[in-house]
Structure 1
Amino acid sequence: MRHTAAKAFAAVAMTAALTAVAVPAMADPATGTVPASTDIVGAGSDTTQALLNQFSTDYNATVSGTPKLYSWDATGSATITPKSGAASITRPNGSGAGITALNAAGSSLDYARSSRGPQTGDLSSNLFVAFAKDAVTWSAKSGGHAPANLTTQDLFDIYSCTAGKTNWSAFGGTAGTIKPYLPQINSGTRSFFLKAIGNPTLGSCVVTGPQENQGTDPLLDDVDVIFPYSAGHWVGQANGHNDAVDDKGNLTLRSINGVAPLTASGTLNPTFANPTYGRVLYNVVRDSDWNASPATTKSTALRAIFGSSGYLCSTAGKASTVSYGYLTLAAAACGSTTHI
């Protein structure tokens, strides 16, 4: 198991060296650029922000005038002014915050990036448009005390802080008190991971706070840490879609139930992206915008970007999806819609 993991990590490093690009992983609309009131503007998930920034750059190169596509990062300034004429809002950080902002901000936001699907509490007017597939696993510091593999039950016990299950030695690792961390509360990765491991009642040993998918956080540079991570985002970071903050740092991805999250060549393992730990990635729009009748400029633009015949589902869009570490969806699934 350790030998296989080491080969995968080495392959990822080689892939990164060969495929690194100069496109920054994090970028609000360029300095001095204020999206027009008719542009398609979104915010939300940390997991997909780098890819949506790439989509924005590439899609905008294919159109003249408006509507263009823009995406605000999950972190940065405390507030943002999404588009021309809009009021400033608190910057949405995470899938949940993005969806909440979409529902509250009216026409100043047109979509929310979401790394989770519909769930209880969402509005029936929230239409989830699928575009790619990801998986979530757990990560730990390279050379630390954690083992190469944990079971779903192990993860449930760790995040429950179950007596006798708070030291890595209980799971075949090196002795050391486990430090279970979770991303901030609005994180789609957090909510998905906790559901996947059985929705444990979080114990007092669990710490909430680090930004999801940022292995550079000093709190995570610890030999006893465990932290959920988007496997696709990690691969994208390894492929050069990273910066000083949005990077995997010293964290490596670990197996669950004996299945590795990465293939030997360092890509997301389709077998790991199973019904338990695999997840579809979405952009959430308002049903009334998407299904406007007669069609409006906005509904036409939304479908031209996110729909089954839109840019994200095109050959060029899927190439970016793969470069950023995710799996593409079948033609029938890409651009499909669902709601609560």
Structure 2
Amino acid sequence: MRKTAAKLLTVAALATSLATVAGGTAVADPAAGVTPRAVDIVGVGSDTTQSLLNQLSADYNASLTDPNAPRLYSWDAIPTGTITTKTGATPITRPNGSGAGINALNANTSATVDFARSSRGPVATDPTTDDFVALAKDAVSWAAPQGGNAPANLTTANLKDIYTCTVTKWNQINASLPATTIKPFLPQTGSGTRSFFLQAIGGGTAVTPGACVNSSVQENQGSDSQLAVADALVPYSVAHYIGQVYFGKGSGTDVQGPLTIRNIDGTVGGPVDTVNKVIGDNFAATQYSRVVYNVFRDADFNAATTRGATLRGIFGAGGWLCTNGTADIKSFGFLPLDFGCGSITTS
């Protein structure tokens, strides 16, 4: 009982400290005072890759010498509301997550949205006219509050049981764990991390979350006070976590808070190689490894036009991001794709 009480006190203290962390201001969207021009290339969508795309955009734009050349910009997933993505564009509801970004891409033309950031690959419901262009490698594990009741490792079967609400208390997993009620969280509907995780724990068939699952948290934001309770767990991008913890890429609400990332199936080395500060080699070889993408309308990306050539010159195989973006990709915790950066996948 004393051990459990100590855990709860630790989590409570960490939760209290979040008020200061969450009070900061996150860097978001094009720089203040900058409105992308009609000719510029603008993206929306995934929370997981938004910070990386912000940095890649800044570095790509800094490399240009022609003031008339199209610049690259990326709008973040939050805050809620409408955005006018570029000069003359139709205002749209800010897309929050991969699915919402892909929907916005397909509901608009290049006058409003040029690409969608996606932390998932194509699914059967995506139009076959969408090109998923590979950017980098990530992995998804789960996270829980330091000092809480969650163990260091859960199996795939454990996670499936938890998220279908078949198992609701920790001691049902291991008798040595507390007999407290598990509080499973998922990112918002439309999150690529959510859909990828549910498919991974289902062995390739997406799991339908049970009634005990709370889907009200923003992905990869450990600052949410709902997660600062002893029995919480939530899926988390390993790369995003590495960027937050080891490279100072988080700010405002975009921080790990009291969460620490945990292992799945006892993978040797775990999700994070803490020495080299990268995704663990063994974990990167499991079904929890994924590629992150930028998504385009095929008619735009493969067009025999100057704009099509520009898109391919930035995002395609041999393009700027694949040849000049390696340092940025690593500094945000992702792994460069030794082979396949810029390659196209469709549904």
TM-score by length of structure 1 reads 0.89
Select which of 292, 302, 305 maps to 2:303: 292
CA shift, 1:264, in A, is 3.4
Q: Determine if contact 2:26/2:252 at 8 Å carries over to the other structure.
A: no
CA shift, 1:207, in A, is 0.9
SS class of match (1:106)? coil
CA shift, 1:169, in A, is 1.9
CA distance in structure 1 between the aligned counterparts of 2:70 and 2:210, rounded to whole angstroms: 47
Superposed CA offset, 1:129-179 (max 9, x none): 0010000001100010000000000000001111xx211122233332100
CA shift, 1:77, in A, is 4.5
Tell me which residue corresponds to 1:175.
179
Gaps of 5+ in 1: 1-23
Tell me which residue corresponds to 1:116.
120
Letter in 2 for 1:264: T
Q: Determine if contact 1:145/1:175 at 8 Å carries over to the other structure.
A: no
Letter in 2 for 1:306: F
In the alignment, does 2:254 pair up with 1:246? yes
After superposition, the Cα gap between the structure-2 partners of 1:305 and 1:25, relative to the gap in structure 1 and judged at 3 Å, is farther
Tell me which residue corresponds to 1:7.
none
Tell me which residue corresponds to 2:233.
226
SS class of match (2:63)? coil
SS class of match (2:325)? helix
Task: Trace 1:242-321 onto structure 2 (pairs within 5 A).
Answer: 242-259=250-267, 260-265=270-275, 266-293=277-304, 296-314=305-323, 316-321=324-329
Q: Determine if contact 1:307/1:313 at 8 Å carries over to the other structure.
A: yes
CA distance in structure 1 between the aligned counterparts of 2:256 and 2:156, rounded to whole angstroms: 23
Q: Determine if contact 1:54/1:320 at 8 Å carries over to the other structure.
A: yes
Select which of 183, 208, 218 maps to 1:211: 218
Task: Trace 1:67-216 onto structure 2 (pairs within 5 A).
Answer: 67-107=70-110, 108-162=112-166, 165-172=167-174, 173-198=177-202, 199-216=206-223
Superposed CA offset, 1:209-232 (max 9, x none): 100000000111111001000000
Letter in 2 for 1:217: D
SS class of match (2:300)? helix
SS class of match (2:257)? coil
Letter in 2 for 1:291: N
Q: Determine if contact 2:150/2:170 at 8 Å carries over to the other structure.
A: yes
SS class of match (1:127)? strand
After superposition, the Cα gap between the structure-2 partners of 1:48 and 1:25, relative to the gap in structure 1 and judged at 3 Å, is farther
Tell me which residue corresponds to 1:13.
none
In the alignment, does 2:89 pair up with 1:53? no
Q: Determine if contact 2:138/2:237 at 8 Å carries over to the other structure.
A: yes
SS class of match (1:209)? strand
CA distance in structure 2 between the aligned counterparts of 1:305 and 1:311, rounded to whole angstroms: 5
Of residues 246-255 and 62-71 in structure 1, the stretch that sits farther from structure 2 once superposed is 62-71
SS class of match (2:122)? coil
CA distance in structure 2 between the aligned counterparts of 1:112 and 1:231, rounded to whole angstroms: 21
CA distance in structure 2 between the aligned counterparts of 1:114 and 1:196, rounded to whole angstroms: 17
Tell me which residue corresponds to 1:235.
242
Of residues 301-310 and 142-151 in structure 1, the stretch that sits farther from structure 2 once superposed is 301-310
CA distance in structure 2 between the aligned counterparts of 1:307 and 1:275, rounded to whole angstroms: 27
Gaps of 5+ in 2: 1-24
CA distance in structure 2 between the aligned counterparts of 1:285 and 1:189, rounded to whole angstroms: 19
Q: Determine if contact 1:130/1:283 at 8 Å carries over to the other structure.
A: yes
CA distance in structure 1 between the aligned counterparts of 2:74 and 2:39, rounded to whole angstroms: 14
Percent identity reads 55
CA shift, 1:275, in A, is 4.5
Q: Determine if contact 1:138/1:229 at 8 Å carries over to the other structure.
A: yes
Task: Spell out structure 1 runs of 4+ moving beyond 4 A.
Answer: none
CA distance in structure 2 between the aligned counterparts of 1:203 and 1:307, rounded to whole angstroms: 40
SS class of match (2:280)? coil
Tell me which residue corresponds to 1:18.
none
CA shift, 1:26, in A, is 3.5
SS class of match (1:154)? helix
